[in-house]
Structure 1
Amino acid sequence: MKKNMGTADKSIRVLIAIIIALLYYFDIVEGTLAYILMAFAIIFLLTSFISFCPLYTLFGINTCKTK
């Protein structure tokens, strides 16, 4: 698995995941929408930690700086 996510991309995804978690924690989003958003938050965190996004490979996107 080749890295295809840069530092800025990972930071934005973690920030979005934290915001979604806070919206859920403070009961701003509830029900089905909350579960869908939490699933996205978990996916964002997972892809950020491994620096790989499968959708990026499908679309040919690479935000990782090459050395």
Structure 2
Amino acid sequence: MSVNMGKLDRILRLVIAAVLVYLAFGSAVAAAGLLHWLALIVAVVMVVTALVGNCPLYSLVGLKTCKDC
């Protein structure tokens, strides 16, 4: 897999994932079962794509946010 995400994109994904985990465990969203699991699943996907540096959706549409890839 080639890298198709830039640093800013990866950092934003990690920040958004952290917010989603907070919402899943530390707010009223945690009371709603389905929203809790949905937030966690989206957070996990965002963390994995940020750590790997490759977004499958970006590959499908031909988008790259990195300068040197």
Deviation at 1:50, TM superposition (A): 0.4
| Structure 1 equivalent of residue 26 of structure 2 | 26
Q: TM-score, normalised by structure 1?
A: 0.92
What SS class does the counterpart of residue 57 from structure 1 fall into? helix
Q: What is the RMSD computed on CA atoms of the aligned residues? A: 1.1
Return the offset for 1:13: 0.4
The share of aligned pairs that are identical, in percent, is 34
Give the unaligned 5+ runs of structure 2.
none
Structure 1 unaligned segments of length 5 or more: list them: none
Query: Structure 1 segments of 4 or more deviating over 4 A?
Result: none
Q: Report what 1:57 is aligned to.
A: 59
Amino acid at match of 1:28: A
Q: Deviations over 1:6-47 (max 9, x none)?
A: 000001100000001111121321310110111000000000
CA distance in 1, matches of 2:36, 2:24: 6
Number of paired residues? 67
3-state SS, counterpart of residue 28 of structure 2: coil
Whole-Å Cα distance in 2 between the matches of residues 25 and 35 of structure 1?
A: 10
